[in-house]
Structure 1
Amino acid sequence: MKLAIALVILVALSLVFHFISPWWLTPIASNWGSIDDTIEITFWITGAVFVAVNLFLAYVVFRYRFQKNRRAHYEPENKKLEVWLTVITATGVCLMLAPGLVVWAKFVNPPTDAAELEVVAQQWQWGFRFPGEDQTLGKSDVRFISVTNPLGIDPKDPFAQDDIIIDNNELHLPINQAVKVWIRSKDVLHNFAVPQFRVKMDAVPGLVSSLWFTPEKIGRFDILCMELCGIAHHTMRGFVVVDSETDFQQWLSQQPTFASTQGGPVGDAVAGESLYALCSSCHGPRGEGNQALNAPRISGQSPHYLKRQLVYYKAGIRGRHPEDTYGQQMAAMAETLPDETAINDVVAYIQTLSSSTPAATLTGHRDKGQPLFVSCAACHGAQGQGRFSTSAPRLAGLQDWYLKRQLVNYQTGLRGAHAADNFGKQMTLMANMLSDEESMNNLLAYIQSL
């Protein structure tokens, strides 16, 4: 009797939770309302079966409960019952599968006027590519992947030269324009998903998959990897911003072409020397850094990272938190560089500097820090050398006190909290994997050995 009552209560609570639960589908922002319909059909069918089976089970438990003077009737086979169960089950499965198959047929067959876009997945980044003026995506192959060509685009393909490369995790798309997305992976199995668009598709190494959708709401939406792809799977985040056609074209015009990315930031080191005079007052004449002035070593640092940080300081993406006093100082210094040319010049000059590796100032256990560095190495390199392909800076040779301050800043929200700092958001998730100060010091002790 108690079990029968428990089953009835279970059904009742499940129904109440289903209808009052705040966890439901996100508001749809694309043309795939039919996917919601198939999900609801599945819910109704499985829900009805759940209620019917459990109430029937409660009835059976109650109706045929133990009675001392009653014997059970043994019936090993009942063909009539088996036929009915088979027919009902098959009908239910067909009712669930049929709408999904219809929607799937549409999902993988884009309209002829759909624009094209390529998504490239890797641990733990997203890369994007649009066709250029020729409206044709150039060829790509894993054998072309290199530090300066992270998407593996064929450098000899004439159609590839004007392809537009998006070197961060934020993708922009125009509203009400159908887009076909080609998806591939550089390393392991990933899954490209935008929940608000109701689209998701596996990114399989060695294969190219595809899907299509039409964004129907202006806004900023999440890109998630919905396949467990490694220890930092949870940090593989991105964003898709749906713009008006005018805003999209303006954004697209500011992105580099494949041909222009092959040389990296190009600047005049001679012109940059005079610009560096102000920087040297804190960072030192050889870029060696100065702990007394809270200035890190910048000689030997990755040029793409130096340029991005200067741009971030000027744009207010970094160094504007009211408690980030050192960042505010640097933001004021970055404002002295008037334009991109000046930034490229000073970065070019910094590349000519050299300085000795600073001594460690923190106490930690290097051997305990080595396993902690495994997830860091995926982006920053096994020797902490930094990687252009993952937009990760060099860690080897940086002062441990500076690295520690940055990790604490990420954990406390002083850095990485700005909406436009996609890489900062990823680093915040990574920094929060360090549970205490001891593990942080151990990690930094290992980095100092690189």
Structure 2
Amino acid sequence: MILVIVLVLLAIGSVAFHVWSPWWWTPIASNWGSIDNAITVTFWITGIFYVAVILFTAYCVFRYRYRKDRRAEYEPENAKLEWWLTIVTTAGVIGLLTPGLIAWNDFVKVPDEAVEIEVFGKQWEWGFRLPGRDGKLGLTNTRLIDDDNPFGINTQFKFGKDDVLIEGDDLHLLVNRPVKVLLRSPDVIHDFYVPQFRAKMDIVPGMVTFFWFTPTRTGTFEILCAELCGVGHYAMRGSVVVDNETDYKKWLAGQETFAALYPKAAGIKKLADQNTLPEKPTKLAAKRIY
């Protein structure tokens, strides 16, 4: 009987903790409500199965507890039970997969109007690169990274010299404008994660990964590295500031280009023209060299 009581209390306590838990999602600040929906459906389905299994176990422990006058009954198979288990399990798996597949279908389809930016993660700091007046991000090559060219921009091509470089940990974005985030790392695996945006992606050395989202409300949101990347992992933080158009243009106008910050590496004189929003969605200038 003690075990039965423990199992019942475990089921009740688990549900109560989930319902009244003080730890929950941060308020969403992007278009990815479908990710929240997928997680909610997962909670409901797994929660129902969890409670059902725990209570069924408690019932079996009580109903078939040991008695001296009771003998076990050998039943090698039960076709009806097996059919029901197959149907219920299949329905549960379909219910778990469907919301995630719907969200993933949207996740991999980047809108044509999305603006490309680059997040450069390295131990243990963030850097960001935005397209300049030409609306295109320049080519990069990790072999070109040095003190005068921390992003490894290939200066043999005209694109890239006007790229806006953000070497601090603060990135500004324009509210309600889709953003395609290109992710690079020169050292180890990192993960760019802003909880309020829901979407995230690993940053893998030797390749460019990406994801997209649309910030839907203004504010300041903390950037976290969601992949253990060394002893300084805990301190690899930053912030994303989502601005209205007026504030964003004001901030952007105060940022420096690659040519302005590193004229020696760029091989030209300072090009600190006032930065403006690209007229068209940004695309990579050509095939990227990793």
Deviation at 1:72?
Answer: 1.8
Q: Which residue of 1 aligns with 2:93?
A: 93
Partner Cα distance (2:127, 2:87) in 1: 48
Preserved contact between residue 108 and residue 210 of structure 1 (Cα < 8 Å): no
Task: Say if 1:84 and 1:170 are closer, same or farther in 2 by CA, change over 3 A.
Answer: same
Q: SS where residue 136 of structure 2 aligns?
A: coil
Partner Cα distance (1:69, 1:152) in 2: 81
Question: Residues 45-444 of structure 1 correspond to what in structure 2 (within 5 A)?
Answer: 45-263=45-263
Q: Give me the identity figure in percent.
A: 56
TM-score (norm 1): 0.57
Deviations 1:237-288 (A, max 9, x none): 1100011111111111111111122148xxxxxxxxxxxxxxxxxxxxxxxx
Deviation at 1:198?
Answer: 0.8
The one-letter code sitting in structure 1 at the alignment partner of 2:129 is R
Deviations 1:10-57 (A, max 9, x none): 111111111111101100111111111111011110111111111111
Q: Which residue of 1 aligns with 2:274?
A: none
Deviations 1:209-256 (A, max 9, x none): 111111111111011111111122111111000111111111111111
The one-letter code sitting in structure 1 at the alignment partner of 2:84 is W
Deviation at 1:75?
Answer: 3.2
Partner Cα distance (1:105, 1:45) in 2: 22
Deviations 1:65-92 (A, max 9, x none): 1112212223344444334323322221
Q: Which residue of 1 aligns with 2:17?
A: 17
Preserved contact between residue 120 and residue 128 of structure 1 (Cα < 8 Å): yes
Task: Say if 1:125 and 1:76 are closer, same or farther in 2 by CA, change over 3 A.
Answer: farther
Partner Cα distance (2:236, 2:90) in 1: 39
Q: Which residue of 2 aligns with 1:39?
A: 39
Q: SS where residue 137 of structure 2 aligns?
A: coil
Partner Cα distance (2:75, 2:207) in 1: 53
Partner Cα distance (2:70, 2:46) in 1: 35
Partner Cα distance (2:151, 2:83) in 1: 56
Partner Cα distance (1:141, 1:77) in 2: 63
Structure 1: state its 5+ residue gaps: 265-450
Q: Which residue of 1 aligns with 2:27?
A: 27
The one-letter code sitting in structure 1 at the alignment partner of 2:236 is M
Preserved contact between residue 224 and residue 238 of structure 1 (Cα < 8 Å): yes
The one-letter code sitting in structure 2 at the alignment partner of 1:100 is G
Task: Say if 1:80 and 1:148 are closer, same or farther in 2 by CA, change over 3 A.
Answer: farther
Preserved contact between residue 123 and residue 229 of structure 1 (Cα < 8 Å): yes
Q: SS where residue 160 of structure 1 aligns?
A: coil
Partner Cα distance (1:102, 1:231) in 2: 37
Q: SS where residue 165 of structure 2 aligns?
A: strand
**Bigger fraction of residues in helix:** 1
Partner Cα distance (2:254, 2:32) in 1: 30
Partner Cα distance (1:2, 1:83) in 2: 33
TM-score (norm 2): 0.87
Deviations 1:130-174 (A, max 9, x none): 000110110111111112212111122211000000011110011
Q: Which residue of 2 aligns with 1:324?
A: none
Structure 2: state its 5+ residue gaps: 265-290
Partner Cα distance (2:174, 2:135) in 1: 16
Task: Say if 1:114 and 1:68 are closer, same or farther in 2 by CA, change over 3 A.
Answer: same
Q: Which residue of 2 aligns with 1:439?
A: none
Partner Cα distance (2:106, 2:206) in 1: 24
Preserved contact between residue 201 and residue 209 of structure 1 (Cα < 8 Å): yes
Partner Cα distance (2:91, 2:68) in 1: 40
Deviation at 1:109?
Answer: 1.3
Partner Cα distance (1:83, 1:141) in 2: 58
Q: Which has the higher contact order (CA 8 A, sep 6+)?
A: 2
Deviation at 1:119?
Answer: 0.7
Partner Cα distance (1:254, 1:52) in 2: 59
Preserved contact between residue 29 and residue 216 of structure 1 (Cα < 8 Å): yes
Preserved contact between residue 138 and residue 157 of structure 1 (Cα < 8 Å): yes
Q: Which residue of 2 aligns with 1:6?
A: 6
Q: Considering only CA atoms, is the larger Rg found in Structure 1 or Structure 2?
A: 1
Partner Cα distance (1:87, 1:149) in 2: 60
Deviations 1:316-345 (A, max 9, x none): xxxxxxxxxxxxxxxxxxxxxxxxxxxxxx
Partner Cα distance (2:18, 2:186) in 1: 40
**Bigger fraction of residues in strand:** 2
The one-letter code sitting in structure 2 at the alignment partner of 1:94 is I
